[in-house]
Amino acid sequence: MGKEEKSRPAVTPEIHVAELLDAYPELEEILVGCVPQFRKLKNPVLRNTIAPVTSIRQAAKVGGIGLGDLINLLRKKAGQEPDFSAEKEGPAAPRPEWFSRSMVSQVFDAGPVLENGQNPMGLVFQHLGTLKKGEIFELVTPFLPAPLIEKAEGKGYLSWANREGTGDWHTYFTSKTGTVC
């Protein structure tokens, strides 16, 4: 019996980085070139924890590259036709009404955790679980933590991410039920 050849998936905004790199290992260097923060995918712990939950849409946000540009480059290198309908990400979100620096009750710099090859998601959710009504949690990261933001929003938190110059990202979270006066 002959071995059936597995068809490779289309490169779309929703494909996860792990699935993309499993199907197209030759795209790793291109992805890292477009999203330098993904250099850390060479670390097996980060590759096994971050790549399976990060979509190409999220990777584009992390890298500050247009989604259509990233999709079309990856599709071209994968031998697929460009997808000119790929969405472009809009401008950065304005400061939300609920945000007030005076309401920041906790700050967590995840940089050292990431540098040690660990995923800070569990620690972040521990912090979020201790927020009182109206309080804001500040997460500092070297890249936009798009998968973590989506997961937090799915659990009932509001978020706002802001990049300070060319430095770190500061992502703020509060409960949807808590409001800042």
Kindly report, residue by residue over 69-83, the tens digit of the pLDDT: 888 889 989 998 876
Per DSSP, the residues of 52-113 read GG-BHHHHHHHHT--HHHHHHHHHHHTT----TTPPPP-SPPPPPTT--GGGEEEEEE-HHH
Mean pLDDT of the 47-72 span? 85
Kindly report, residue by residue over 130-178, the tens digit of the pLDDT: 999 999 999 998 877 888 888 999 999 999 988 766 678 899 999 987 5
Q: Are 177 and 156 in contact (CB under 8 A)?
A: yes
- pLDDT value at 124 more than 90: yes
pLDDT at 89: 46
Highest averaged pLDDT of the listed ranges 47-61, 78-92, 117-131, 141-155: 117-131
Which domains, and CATH codes, for the chain? 17-77 (no CATH), 101-175 (3.30.110.40)
pTM, whole model, 2 decimals?
0.59
Kindly report, residue by residue over 11-40, the tens digit of the pLDDT: 988 899 999 999 999 999 889 888 888 887
Closest CA to 11 of 38, 37, 33, 30: 30
Q: Are 129 and 166 in contact (CB under 8 A)?
A: no
